[in-house]
């Protein structure tokens, strides 16, 4: 059980930010990543479509004998995590916006959430926002997902987007929540537009949750070199090349 791999999937490139964190935190684990780039973005699809695509991705990873499944996509977590947990016989760990950390970081200032349209419209997000942070400003940002899918993670294009969307609040912003794993790759342009504003994602929290789950079932790998395998539903070799670029030259 300990030597079995961990499956990680996302609608495309975004979950690579999670993969990178998992590799750093659990170097002995074998990680298999599946990006459904052919069907990206999930955030513009219906909940039924997202659930069906998530189940398809999960089954592909289950066929590789994974001991746990990481849903490295906020949209897929919101639409399909409950279904995946009901249908799979391995632990499922998802990711969702961290309102509690954002509220602590923002103090009396405003909280802005960037996420996909689907994430913002699904009950899971709406209920969590109402319960934990009803004053949060929600901004749908499908354009950012497409930028990352194209490999555009810096420069004038993302900076112009952030500048326009954040302009109404300017110096009133106390924290920005990255409600999509794609957006973790856009920290540099966001810092350029909103210097000093804390950027909140849930990747570290997901990593801790996965470690705890594996420890509880005595499945955490404690030795060995580990490793990473990358797969994509897209047949274009340029997609895998962009995956490696986003992971960085020093990624093991």
> Which positions are catalytic?
73, 180
Indicate the DSSP class of residue 11: S
Q: How far apart are CA 178 and CA 238, in angstroms?
A: 26
Two structure tokens written together for 213: 């789950």
In sequence order, what DSSP letters do the residues of 39-68 get, joined into one string? Answer: G--GGGS-HHHHHHHHHHHHHHHHTTT-SE
Of 124, 36, 118, nearest in space to 83 by CA: 124
Burial status of residue 159 (CB atoms within 10 A of its CB: 0-12, 13-18, 19 or more): middle
Which residues contact residue 232 at a Cβ distance below 8 angstroms, ignoring those fewer than 6 apart? 34, 35, 36, 37, 38, 239, 240, 243
């Amino acid at each position: 059980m300990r030597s079995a791999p961990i499956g990680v999937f996302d609608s495309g490139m975004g979950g690579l930010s999670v993969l990178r964190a998992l590799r750093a935190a659990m170097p002995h684990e074998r990680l298999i990543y599946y990006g459904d780039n052919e069907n990206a973005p999930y955030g513009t699809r219906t909940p039924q479509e997202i659930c069906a695509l998530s189940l398809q991705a999960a089954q592909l990873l289950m066929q590789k004998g994974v001991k746990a499944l990481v849903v490295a996509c906020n949209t897929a977590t919101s639409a399909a995590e409950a279904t995946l947990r009901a249908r799979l016989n391995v632990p499922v760990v998802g990711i969702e916006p961290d309102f509690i950390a954002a509220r602590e970081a923002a103090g009396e200032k405003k909280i802005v959430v960037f996420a996909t349209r689907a994430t913002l419209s699904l009950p899971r997000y709406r209920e969590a926002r109402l319960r934990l942070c009803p004053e949060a400003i929600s901004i749908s940002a499908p354009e950012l997902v497409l930028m990352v899918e194209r490999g555009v993670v810096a420069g004038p294009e993302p900076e112009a987007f952030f500048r326009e969307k954040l302009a109404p609040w300017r110096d009133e912003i106390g924290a920005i929540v990255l409600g999509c794993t794609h957006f973790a790759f856009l920290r540099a342009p966001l810092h350029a537009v909103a210097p000093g504003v804390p950027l909140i994602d849930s990747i570290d929290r997901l990593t801790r949750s996965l470690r705890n789950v594996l420890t509880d079932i005595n499945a955490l790998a404690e030795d060995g070199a580990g490793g990473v395998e990358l797969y994509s539903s897209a047949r274009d070799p340029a997609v895998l090349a962009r995956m490696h670029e986003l992971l960085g030259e020093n990624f093991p």
